[in-house]
């Protein structure tokens, strides 16, 4: 049997395994009554003193798209645990590798479906323009904080060029990643939440986080204005 003939059953097997993981994850959340903050707290408690903590955090960021857990919360957690410098490395490596995982999963599972869905001449033209301007499109979407996984899966399903996707994703995520990292780094002892109190914050670090948020939004606006009409039409 050819590789083409063997591929669909294997694809179904992978999809079934993925669905099983998601169902198990959601069932555990429902059974324990855990929310995103509780899950993040549990991850932090395990990794805070672990000698391989940063590497395990990268692994958590890598598999995160499989469960659609909030990338922003993990970034905030990395800033709180590891500070802006080490946290930046953890977040860039972890989230961008996870973005590639989501991109390839969507390309593998949904690429053919997307091609058929956009078979209409007008839609096919819009898709072609988007592929030609993939770097600018992904960069802009990252700068305006479009949901991280939505961009990853859409880029894969639409089969945007991988190199343009990676470059736009990495560059576009820098300001946003630092925004959430600095926010996490500004937060004091989180145990105050368990006592019903708000944790203290470092005002200068928090102000830097807010400033980066504004810079990211202004940069996306300037990029959108400078984009050629062909790119805006995409």
Least confident of 1-5, 91-95, 179-183: 1-5
Percent of the chain at pLDDT exceeding 90: 30
pTM of the model: 0.78
pLDDT at 151 > cutoff 90: yes
Q: Which of 76-80, 96-100, 109-113, 131-135 has the highest mean pLDDT?
A: 96-100
Contact 123, 234 (CB under 8 A): no
The pair of three-digit structure tokens given for residue 168, joined into one six-digit string? 């736009």
Say whether pLDDT at 234 is over 60: no
pLDDT digits (tens, 9 = 90+) for 10-56: 666 766 777 777 777 777 777 777 777 777 877 888 888 788 989 99
3-state secondary structure of 2: coil
Is residue 62 within 8 A of residue 90, CB to CB? The reply is no
How does 56-74 read in b/e, with b if 16+ C-beta sit within 10 Å?
bbbebbbebbbeebbbbbb
Strand partners, 54: none
Look up residue 69 and give its DSSP letter.
-
Residue 137 structure tokens: 């499109």
Distance CA 234, CA 226 (A): 14
Work out the end-to-end distance of the chain between its first and last CA atoms, rounded to an integer number of angstroms: 41
The C-alpha atoms of residue 168 and residue 176 are separated, in whole angstroms, by: 13
What mean pLDDT, rounded, does the chain reach?
Answer: 81
Can you give the pLDDT at residue 5?
Answer: 46
pLDDT of residue 95: 95
Q: What is the pLDDT of residue 39?
A: 79
Q: Which pairs with CB-CB distance under 8 Å and at least 24 residues apart come from 55-59?
A: 57/81, 57/82, 57/90, 57/94, 58/90, 58/93, 58/94, 58/97, 59/94
Q: What distance separates the 2 farthest-apart alpha carbons in the chain? A: 64
Give the DSSP letter of residue 200: P
- Higher pLDDT residue, 196 or 66? 66
Instruction: Check residues 63 and 27 and name the one with the higher pLDDT.
Output: 63
């Amino acid at each position: 049997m050819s590789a083409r003939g063997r591929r669909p059953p294997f694809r179904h097997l992978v999809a079934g395994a993925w669905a099983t993981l998601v169902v198990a994850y959601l069932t555990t959340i429902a059974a324990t009554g855990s929310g995103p903050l509780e899950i993040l707290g549990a991850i932090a408690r395990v990794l805070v003193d672990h000698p391989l903590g940063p590497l395990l955090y990268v692994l958590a960021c890598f598999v995160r798209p499989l469960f659609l857990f909030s990338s922003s919360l993990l970034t905030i957690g990395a800033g709180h645990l590891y500070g802006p410098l080490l946290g930046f490395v953890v977040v860039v490596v972890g989230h961008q590798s996870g973005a590639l995982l989501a991109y390839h999963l969507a390309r593998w599972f949904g690429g053919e479906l997307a091609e058929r869905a956009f078979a209409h001449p007008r839609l096919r033209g819009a898709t072609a323009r988007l592929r030609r301007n993939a770097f600018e499109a992904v960069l802009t979407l990252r700068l305006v904080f479009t949901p991280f996984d939505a961009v990853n899966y859409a880029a894969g399903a639409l089969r945007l060029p991988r190199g343009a996707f990676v470059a736009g994703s990495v560059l576009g995520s820098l300001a946003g990643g630092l925004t959430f990292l600095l926010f996490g780094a500004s937060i004091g002892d989180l145990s105050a939440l368990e006592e019903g109190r708000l944790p203290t914050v470092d005002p200068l670090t928090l102000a830097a986080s807010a400033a980066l948020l504004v810079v990211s939004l202004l940069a996306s606006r300037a990029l959108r204005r400078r984009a050629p009409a062909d790119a805006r039409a995409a």
